[in-house]
A and B are shown apart, each in its own frame.
Chain A
């Protein structure tokens, strides 16, 4: 700083502080990790020792991957104190765009960019209304949730588009083979890459600092010289783009897209993952690692309940209650935290 005031106390050595902060953030991120492990062990023993097999684990990784990608975008949004209800619809719309392009003879290679571009477009639209016109995010994305769902149905005349020769189908079906029974699916690799990239943005860049600042106190952020509108634009654009990526992953897996059913209520699972991960619902506090654990928790629950033979109806009931109980436990553990 430019001032030369009286020198005084020396701070605690930096390395020591870093170590302490690291431990603390690991503990915070760990939040739901013990629950995740307990659940996994529980399902393993209840479900005839099948749960923790290599094959089942790679299925879980695959099942968790799309939600992890959506929840990463949702983490950005919720950290600023916002919400994006439109990701499920965006995913359906982007997948329709992608599949239609993939069936065009000379443009098939543009299918993946089409998915990503469509997602980004809707995200930018959300962001422009929220940051520019200053309409509350809940209202804007509630609107796009419905409108974009309609667009998605319009795209294929309300029919399922199917492409058995999808050029990027390997994304959804192959993986890195580790042993004969255990493969790391590309879907999981992509999801992990998204998590790492999100972590980098949130923790290692100016943008990340500004995201946390806006969620912590938007008025103060503006007075501190942060371009609040631009940052909000970024988070909704990112959420849209990642929904587009989710569309790539989902269509690669299904060789198909359907405007009506695809991505229905995906936004709820994404929000649940973020909240389970300990991110404050009013913004400013949270981590992407927590979101990863949250998304895994949801996948483990879904997979485990099927494995132990719980009926479809009861799965809903149990999943919903587990989300409430898990967050309640977390509150008990750290009463100071906010949601």
Chain B
């Protein structure tokens, strides 16, 4: 049986070609090492194909051989918390057609930063923004169109069921408490947290909420049943409350250490659930490695506590790539200003950090530089680990046969400290090159 033939051809390459590209002379990410192997990808199926079966069964030779000259070939980066980019904030109320156009623009630009899959994130907002924006933010990779750029794997709603004392820069006036699942449906729109046909996933992939408020912990199993990830965040939860949430099915912690109680030796708080004290699985956790949110040593402690749960996120605002200055920002029921000074974002009139304006690859390089982690460890924190958290093992974040052919080619520069720094040379989406430096 041919193993590599497409089941439903999306497009047929011209001139009788088969659309297969072979990457050779490259170091590819496999587990915790970079190995010298070839990789075959098929732009028709958009997948990484089993080369040996293609050769012996389908008698195929690749159309295109890409010699990477010893460079690194990694799965495309996965971003779990992105509030907006290139001037567009996902938490914006716009005409549907305009919103959709903006999203397409962001997707095409975002892919050039090495991010091939991401979770567009909406901060705490009034219900109408969720209801108008979320339909545009659901999983978008179904048609496997490489030219569309980065794909959404589902939206991340950060709020509004957050603890008002750990609001960060979220507007306290729009924060809510959930007593029943209906409260969630009323807030986000029932259709956005429900599968339309029992087969396609809902638009919302992840909800960040404080487990100690209302009946939130009791609602976690129903969310999990619907395929929605519950993430603990913006919370005053004690260690016991956090443990109860994990026991109920919480599998993620939103930006660990930020907007939660710090680790105290008599009450380890949310961080405590990484301690394997209970016989519970440890959740994954997001870490913002921008040099503002966390001290480098804190990042290293978190990594060493649970390397397999460590996910680098940017929590970037739409100001990424824009010049310094003060920018308007829709924040719940009012409009505030965010002051951008270099990579640092502060809420106008305060010293509160207002997200970041860092790219994911910069986080990877910070992590490499601060912790001395290996390149595979740093890349896993943005590829295989988030893919596992999202339940996308074998499809995203890996270079296994049958996975989506979302790839990044990195040059590795060694800086004066002897630490590696990765530079994005090329980005491939579904087996087609979409960016080249």
Q: Do A and B come from one complex?
A: no
